[in-house]
Structures are given as C-alpha cells and as structure tokens.
Structure 1
Amino acid sequence: MIAVIQRVSSSSVTINGSVKGQIGNGLMVLLGIEDVDNQEDIDWLSKKIVNLRIFPDENGVMNRSVLDVVGDILLISQFTLHASTKKGNRPSYIKAAKPDFAIPMYEKFIHALENELGRPIQTGEFGADMKVALVNDGPVTIIIDSKNRV
C-alpha cells in the first residue's frame, strides 16, 4: 500500500456535484492498493498514519499527531499511485489491485483508521470520478509505502 499524506487546514471530495466528505484541520490521505497487500499492511499503515507526528507543538516543532490535535482524516482511494512510467509516456497500472480485491481492502482500511483514530473518518467513493480540494498546511506531504517499512 502506498499512502500520500497531506497535513491540511481543510479538504473535501465532491462526486457528481455533491460533497461526499469534508474535513477541517487534519490529514487528507490518498491510498493506493496493490494485489500483494494484506491485513498486516493495513494494520501497520493505519497505525503509522494516525501516529505520524507532523503537526506543530507549542514551539512550532512537528511533534504532534492527528490524534494529539484531535484532527480529522479524509481518505481517498487512488489506484494511480501504483503507476509505472518506466516504458514510454503512458503510465501502466498493472500493479494496482483490481476492484474485486481493492474494494474490500479499502473498506478494511477505513475501519482500521477509524479504530486507530477512535472516531469515524470521511471518505471518497472507490472508483468514482472525484474532485478533491485541499489547503495543504505547511505544506507538509509525506509518502509512505507499507512495503518499505524496514
């Protein structure tokens, strides 16, 4: 699993002209799932995201997590994170998981994040054409691949 995590002061996702999810202060997370991902990836990555210390403390040092600042999370599925651009100019998405595998994994990831955060999160809709808006705070953007944890 690959996650692109952005510290935001606000973020929203709109589908067919209607806002599906929105948050204020917190994290906007883009999540890419591949066929080799499993429950261990879900558990490790959800815990890592919720405990990632990228919010400023009273001294302006990034030392607080989304838990510490009681921030929210907006999770968006994004298969294009697994794009391969090695050959030619048209990306290949061969590593991205197919919907029959990815949808249940995405739903498990939602529940894992909610369990770690201790409350519901906001989401997009798997496979939908989404318009994502955000105000990146900092800017702070972190990329984490669950296969590179060692």
Structure 2
Amino acid sequence: MEVTHKMNLWADRHHPIWLDFIRLGLGIFLFVKGLIFISDIAVLERLLININMDWSSFWFAHYIAFAHLVGGLLIAMGLVTRLAVLFQLPILIGAVLFVRPGLEYGSINTEWWVSVLTLCLLIVFFIFDSGRWSIDHYMRTHREV
C-alpha cells in the first residue's frame, strides 16, 4: 500500500494537464474498440482461433470486448485508472506479441502499430495514474466527513 501511495504522490507532482486529454482519448478509443468487437464478436473469435487459442477463443473474445468497454469508460473518466489499465495490459501484450508486425498482404500492418502505441500509453497511465481532471483526483481531494 505504501508503494502505491508513493506512486500517487510522485504522479500528482509530475502529471502535466495535456496527459489528461491523452487519457481521455485512450479511454474513448478502447471503448469504441470494445463496441467494434461486440458488434462482430465472431471476427475476434476467428482471430483468436488463428493464433492457436481454439479451446478458449469464445471466453477470451468476450473478456477482451468486455474489458475494452468497461476499461475504456473507466480510463476516460479517470476512475480506478490503474485497475482498469491492469485489466487492459494482458490484452495489449497479447496483441503485440501475436499480431505480426511489418508487411502483411502488401501493406503496412497498422493494427500492430496501434497495439504498440496503446500498450505504451497504458504503461504511461499505470505509472502516472489519472491526473487532475479525473474522478479519482476529485475523490482524493473531496473526502466526505
């Protein structure tokens, strides 16, 4: 508990305001990605089957869609941001490891680069937390007596 308290103190002192806008954009992006996955969950299941996750593709597909929907909203609002990021990290690590980078079918694989950028941003927000324009900050500064 002391480690997270020290991380919060450091992050509050070193958190620029523009990072809050990036957090908001990342949360909205993840939420929209979750909506896209929910709208056609079969495509996500086929992708998971292609990377040899036959036995659990149904469950992983639903976990990914749900985690993106809920986690995206939580990250955008700045509510329990580190926990929301923690649930996103395995998904994005898997996307970076299993989606091949470079040229695919004659074009640059932008999905891999988007996954790498999203993973980097998630790591940044795991370290820096949600910032001043967030529900977490409001709850820390306006405690009920």
Select the structure that is richer in helix.
Answer: 2
Select the structure that is richer in strand.
Answer: 1
Tell me whether the two structures share a fold, i.e. TM-score over 0.5: no
Q: TM-score, normalised by structure 1?
A: 0.24
Bigger radius of gyration: 2
Name the structure, 1 or 2, with higher relative contact order (CA <8 Å, separation 6+).
1
